[in-house]
A = this chain, B = another copy of it.
Amino acid sequence: MDTAREKGNVVAFLGPKASYTHQATLQKFGDQNFHIVPMTSIDDVFAAVQAGSATHGVVPFENSSNGPVLFTLDLFADADKRHPDIVVEAEIYLPVHHCLVGQRAAKALHTAKATDAPSLSQVREDLDTSPVVSGAATPTQTAPQPARPRVQPLHSIKHIQHVHSHPQAWGQCKAFLTAYLKQAEKHDVSSTSRAAEIVATDSTGVSAAVSSKLAAELNGLDVLAEGIEDTQGNSTRFFVLRRRQDVEGHVNASSTEGVNGPVANAHDDQAQLFKSLISFTVDHAEPGALADSLAVFKKHGLNLTSINTRPSGARPWNYVFFVELMGRKRGDGDGGKVNVALDELGRVVKTYRWLGSWEKMTKD
């Protein structure tokens, strides 16, 4: 590891340990050549890569059920111009299997203190009744046919009064939480693994966390239910961050005429193998400015795969737009489709930024 650090291969990821980002990081950088360092916020990961204290950063970008991670998008928008050099170098897909983790009722009864009388009686009541609750959410006017959860609890969870997790997890486990934990109080914390840590410190046993199985193991907790996410195939996409100058070195090198020229041309024909992320702002006073910007990509046959809008941070009701498209930017002046489109984009928008090109990974 020290060798890795000396060689400068430091990967900063959104921690703490056992977070989904940690798992994604291990999937990509899980060998001895990288020194892997947890950071406390997505912001810290961006800052570490920008400052050069890490060569790589790994941050969550988008969940298949819940949409983009707004905090990451806002850091790419970079209203404060703190990360001018950050680009995406790669993407990582990680299947997400949420678990409900905590203490089993019998164990909770054993460890509960005398001062925790209400919890204790609650736990006793649980032990007298069926091991699991019904799993049928009550139909309401709002949800006449509530979605049935995909799994049942492995153990009784009637003693659970508090559930801790990252806000994104609530949206991903709606059916299970509605069916089994509607009355429990939800507490937002900074990560799913932090949630497991908090639950491990609760001696009354009435708290649970929505987190990974790995987090349960690391914190000595029981898995009370496994795979509680609504959608089968739920996965999260992570981005590997680099400094622009480090990546452009590669791009320039690989497009040098005579060395990799033919390869570069081959890549151009294989636009479907690469993706790029671009942000831009338009003059809101000019009608059609957004449509004109998007028309540039169409003109050059670049297939847009997603569009996102965030407040620009500059003035109220001003936006920064993000497009992701198939294809990649090549070395300066290389004349690839993305390069030409970016040049043209620059003439119709107020500002724009190339935020990286990378090889497309499969989604599952």
Contact = CB atoms under 8 A, between A and B. Distances in A.
A117 to B, nearest CB: 15
B231 A51 contact: no
B307 A306 contact: no
Interface in A3-56: 41, 43-44, 47-48, 51
A70 interface: yes
B288 A301 contact: yes
A292 B287 CA distance: 19
Contact of A309 (B67, B70, B301): B67
A28 to B, nearest CB: 19
A80 B67 CA distance: 17
A130 to B, nearest CB: 29
A145 B349 CA distance: 29
A236 to B, nearest CB: 10
Given A306-B309, A311-B65, A316 B231 contact: yes
A248 B70 CA distance: 36
Nearest to A310: B67
A308 interface: yes
A290 B317 contact: no
A68 B67 CA distance: 13
A1 interface: no
Given A44-B142, A142-B41, A306 B319 contact: yes
Interface in A130-166: 141-145
Nearest to A302: B291
Contacts of A254: none
Nearest to A237: B317
Contacts of A307: 290, 307-309, 321
B142 A47 contact: yes
A297 interface: yes
A245 interface: no
Interface in A63-114: 63-68, 70, 80, 82
A64 B305 contact: no
Interface of A: 41, 43-44, 47-48, 51, 63-68, 70, 80, 82, 141-145, 167, 186-188, 231, 233-235, 272, 284, 287-288, 290-292, 294-295, 297-298, 301-311, 313, 315-317, 319, 321, 326, 363-364
Q: Nearest 6 CB-CB pairs, A to B? A: A64-B316, A291-B298, A188-B188, A287-B303, A47-B142, A290-B304
